Amino acid sequence: MTSDRPPAIIGLLLAGGKGSRMGGQDKGVLPWQGQPMARWVYQALGAVTPAVFISANRSLDDYEQLAPGHVLQDPDDLRHQGPLAGLLTGLKAAAREGASAVLVCPCDTPGITPATLDALVTAWEAQPERPVIAESEGRTHPLHGVYPVSLMVSLQQWLESGNRRVMGFAESVGVTVVDCPEAGEIFSNRNKPADLL
């Protein structure tokens, strides 16, 4: 049964990077274990959220096939400003959808699981005014988390100040860190060609 209520949270797949360590290739469309990396992440997000948007600045036809009508491009003033620009674009889309937050995940972590993402959403639901990010094996992962729509203004100001540090922003808005005991492999960024083997 489908609900007419707006979704509380939407998925946001970040695929707008330059792929510098991948020789400039778009990481999201590169294959890992038989399908594009972005597809693995899209499927994990789609298992947890009612809608998944993709933040992308190239390979738009590929991403449109994956998420018809849900591909977001950064506006010109935010282009090449890093993942926080994609997050801001996603927060604005979530606001338009009537959602309260985005569950974000980068395209180069195809090992991410719905169970891990679901744990982040559950932690956010307990205190929906604060962002929640993952931690595993002593490392924080600020691009695996839930960010409330209410942070749009703060994030806009952060970017306008010239600051692009993701963890710095998360800390500045009172982030909650959630221990994810799963193997760190789940959060492995596949940045280099050797990582795809």
Q: pTM of this prediction?
A: 0.87
For the domain covering 9-196, report its CATH number. Answer: 3.90.550.10
Q: pLDDT digit string (tens) for 89-131?
A: 999 999 999 999 999 999 888 889 999 999 999 999 999 999 9
Residue count of the chain: 197
Establish how many alpha carbons lie within 13 A of residue 18's alpha carbon, considering only the half-sphere containing its beta carbon. Answer: 6
Q: What is the mean pLDDT of residues 42-46?
A: 94
Distance CA 76, CA 188 (A): 30
Among 190, 37, 40, residue whose Cα is nearest residue 114: 40
Residue 9 — pLDDT band, cuts 50, 70, 90? very high
Crossing angle for the helix pair 37-46 and 114-126, nearest 10 degrees?
50
Q: Helix 83-97 to helix 152-160 angle, to the nearest 10 degrees?
A: 150
Question: What tens digit of pLDDT does each residue of 159-173 get?
Answer: 999 999 999 999 999
pLDDT tens digits for range 48-81: 999 999 999 888 889 999 899 999 988 877 777 8
User: CB–CB of 83/17 below 8 Å?
Assistant: yes
